[in-house]
Amino acid sequence: MTKFRIGLIGLGGVASAHLAAFRSLDEVEIVSVCDIAQAVAETTAREFGARAYTDYHRLLADGGVDLVLVLTPASTHRVIVEAVAEAGLHVFCEKPLAVTLADGEAMVVACERAGVKLFYGSCYRFLPAIVKARELIAEGAIGRIVLMKEQLVGGTGHAAYRELGPVHYPPGGPGGAGMGLVDHGIHLIDVFSWFAGAPPDKVLGRGQIAGAAPVSEFMTMAFPGGASGHLLYNAATFSAGLPGEGIFNGGQGWLADGSIAETGRWEEEPGSISVHGTEGALRIFHYANALFIRNEAGLRQVPLHGRPAFGHFATQLEACIWAIRRNEAPPVGGVDGLNALKALLAVYT
C-alpha cells in the first residue's frame, strides 16, 4: 500500500509526542516539517528524512502531503487552518480548536467550502481506558449517567505557577496553565459530551484569565437527560494526595504541574475521571491506563486493549487515515471542536 504522507506545522512539545507515536505506523511517512525555529525544523527533518521549512506557506505550496497536522499554539490555528484549506489539503488541528468562537466557526466554514476534511485533536477519545468506558456506558453497564467529574489540583505553590503565555493565549482573554481549564479541560468537555451523547445545554463556572494572577478554575455542565459534569483545576498550590492513594502508571501523561508521568512510575495522585450512573460507577485512569467498575456485584478492574498514552496519538492518526482513504466523515471533526469551544467560552461570558 502507498504510504500516507504527513506534513507537520509546529514542532513543540506536543509534536514530539505525536512524532514518537507515529514511529509505530509503517504506513505513515513524515515528508514535511515546519517550525519558526530553523534549528528545530532542520533537526526534526533530518531525523525523519523530511523536508524542513520555517514558513508554512512554502510547505503548502510544495505539497506532496495527504494530511497537514497543525500543532501550533491555539492563537495561530485559524490563519494556518484557513491556509491549509485554501491549498486544498486535509487538515488536523490540535486542541483547542481556536481562542475565539468566531475563529473556530471560520475554520469550520473554510474547510467546508474547500471540500477538505477538518480533524479535531480530541486525543482523549483514543485512550484505551476512555474508549472502553464509552463502550460500557453505551451498553448500559452503569445505567443512566448522573454525574461526571475530574479535578487536577496541585503544583509547587503560587510562586512556581507558570501559564502558557501570550503566544498561546493573548492576555486578557481565556488562558492559563497547561493543565488548566482552557488547555486541558477542553478535553474533558468533549469527553463528557461524548459519554452523555450531546454537548451541555447549560454551563457555569470561572476560568483563568491569561496574564492574571492564578485562581481556582471550575466548570459545571448540565447535559440533556439530566447528567452533570464538574471540572476543578488549580496548578498554583500543592497536592493534598496521600501516599498509597495512587496507582502504578501504565502509560505516559501530563500531571497537574505540567510535568510528564512516565510508564511504570508510582503516581500518588494520577489524573482520573469518575462517571456515576444509576446502576454503577466507573473510575477511569486515562493516562495511567486503568479502568475500574463498581456496581452491586462489587469492584472489578476492566481489561483494556490498545495503545496507552502517548501511543494513542498513533491510534488517532490511524482513524484520520481511515476516514481520508474511505472518504468518510472525520471520527472527531471541526464541529466537535466547535461544540467544546462554545461550552468553554460560556464560562467567560
Report the amino acid identity of residue 155: G
Residue-by-residue DSSP string for 64-124: --SEEEE-S-GGGHHHHHHHHHHTT--EEEESSS-SSHHHHHHHHHHHHHHT--EEEE-GG
Region class of 282: left (phi > 0), else alpha (psi between -120 and 50), else beta: beta
Do 218 and 282 belong together in one domain?
yes
Which three cell numbers mark 41? 525544523
Domain for residue 337, yes or no?
A: no
Task: Decide if 288 contacts 250 (C-beta within 8 A).
Answer: yes
Residues 169 and 282 in one domain: yes
Give the position of cell 476560568. 207
Q: Of 106, 96, 76, 90, nearest to 10 (Cα)?
A: 76
State the sign of the Cα–Cα–Cα–Cα dihedral 62, 86, 40, 44: negative
pLDDT, residue 1, reads 66
Are 147 and 276 within one domain?
yes
Total length of the chain: 349
- One domain for residues 79 and 16: yes
> What is the number of domains present in the chain?
2
pLDDT at 205: 98
Helix axes 101-114, 77-86, angle to 10 degrees: 10
My answer on whether 192 and 80 are in the same domain is no
The per-residue pLDDT for 249 is: 84
Low-confidence stretches of the chain (pLDDT < 70) are: 1
Same-domain status, 260 and 193: yes
Average predicted confidence (pLDDT) for the chain: 95
- Assess if residue 346 is contained within a domain: no
Tens digit of pLDDT for each residue in 85-107? 999 999 999 999 999 999 999 99
Asked whether residue 107 falls in the same domain as residue 137, the answer is no
Residue type, 323: A
CATH of the domain at 100: 3.40.50.720
Q: Is residue 306 part of a domain?
A: no
pLDDT 10s digits, 196-237: 999 999 999 999 999 999 999 999 999 999 999 999 999 999
Does residue 179 sit in the same domain as residue 267?
A: yes
183 in a structural domain: yes
Tell me the CA distances in angstroms from 206 to 109, 279, 340, one per residue in order: 30, 32, 16
Q: Domain limits at 325? A: 4-122+311-331
